[in-house]
Amino acid sequence: MYGFVLICPFCYSGWIGAGVTMKTPDKQLSEEQSREVAEKIREEIARRRISRQALAEQAKLSLSTLEKVLGGRRPFTLATTVRLEQALGVSLRKNGAASPPDNSDVAPDSLGSYSHRAVTSLEDTYVTLRPSFGLTGREWNPNSSGSDKDAIFAYRTEIVWDPQVPSLVFREGERIDTAYEHTGHVAVPHQSGFIYLVINRHGQHRVITVSRPTMTGEMYGIISTLRAGPGSQLTPIAAPIAFIPVGNVKAPTLGRIVSEDANYTLYREHLCRTLDEPFAVLLPV
């Protein structure tokens, strides 16, 4: 007369009870939508020359799942499609599918496939600091002081989102050598955790590698470029560099900053921090 009564047939597979709701099944795309998405993915794989395995890893999918949806043996779900869109940085769905992402809001794969929303904290105007390339000697010595060779080169850099690329771009201004003011692209890859300000002008490269911003917005790293010498002489050079949000400097001064300048000590502290913490390392020979 007495025994056990099975109250819920799902108890042994999920313990569903009061206040707990069952997981809603993921929405499936139609057969036509799945076919269009699969075709678009195959085009992107061919264009980028990547393997299906690499794409599956970037999208956090199993290779088996990717193979089945591309082969038409399983329809695409909305969740799977979104993961693939994020991995490729492109929209795979047409207007007939729910909420297609705005492709103008995602940088190309060559710059890190980041979204605008993810990098808004980098958009700012910065006082950019590096040693003056007019120095003498084999390397910049952050612990020396008092001579003209310790002058600091300061100029303005603006980092903004350009929807035409789309990506972050940087624009230099108020340099005393205006002929060398540059504009370039900003790469923000997830793998290294660093930011790259890159110029590629007819195959000639200049690269600035800096840390992610500190709590107060500064970025520190190394610039690798060419130093102009007498006549047409150019010499490869690397030096510490710092990007200070303009709002962090009470009265910014730009140009060739020497020891008499009111901001010289502050600017010098930032450049020394690049190597002292260190955010970057310059190896002596």
Q: Is the dihedral of CA 111, 115, 118, 120 positive or negative?
A: positive
Query: How many angstroms separate the Cα of 171 from the Cα of each of 21, 115, 155, 157?
Result: 52, 20, 11, 6
Residue-level pLDDT at 281: 93
State which of 101, 129, 162 marks the end of a domain.
101
Q: Are 221 and 177 in the same domain?
A: yes
Least confident of 1-15, 19-33, 111-125, 138-152: 1-15
**Burial label, 96 (beta-carbon count in 10 A; 0-12, 13-18, 19+):** exposed
Q: How far apart are CA 164 and CA 84, in angstroms?
A: 23
Structure tokens at 125: 């105007």
Least confident of 48-52, 73-77, 95-99, 149-153: 95-99
Q: Are 159 and 79 in the same domain?
A: no
Q: Are 155 and 251 in the same domain?
A: yes
Q: What is the pLDDT of residues 242-271, one digit of tens each?
A: 999 999 999 999 999 999 999 999 999 999
44 phi-psi bin (left φ>0, alpha ψ -120 to 50, beta other): alpha
Kindly indicate the confidence band of residue 148, based on its pLDDT and cuts at 50, 70 and 90. low
Q: Are 176 and 79 in the same domain?
A: no
Q: Are 44 and 170 in the same domain?
A: no
Range with the largest mean pLDDT of 8-17, 49-58, 215-224:
215-224
Q: Are 126 and 238 in the same domain?
A: yes
Burial 28-49 (b: 16+ CB within 10 A, else e): ebeeebbebbbebbeebbeeee
Q: Are 123 and 81 in the same domain?
A: no
Domain assignment present for 146: yes
- Given a contact cutoff of 8 angstroms between Cβ atoms, the answer to whether 223 and 241 are in contact is yes
Q: What is the pLDDT of residues 190-216, one digit of tens each?
A: 888 899 999 988 888 999 999 999 999
Boundaries of domain holding 214: 117-276
Checking if the pLDDT of 33 tops 50, the result is yes
Range with the largest mean pLDDT of 8-22, 87-101, 111-125, 138-152:
111-125
Say what the pTM is: 0.62
Q: How far apart are CA 120 and CA 203, in angstroms?
A: 29
Residue-level pLDDT at 26: 59
Verify cis geometry, omega within 30 degrees of 0, for the bond prior to 9: no
Q: Are 94 and 130 in the same domain?
A: no
**Which CATH number goes with the domain that contains 81?**
1.10.260.40
Q: What is the pLDDT of residues 97-133, one digit of tens each?
A: 434 444 568 898 889 988 898 899 999 999 999 998 8
Residue-level pLDDT at 104: 62
Q: Are 224 and 85 in the same domain?
A: no
Residue-level pLDDT at 96: 42
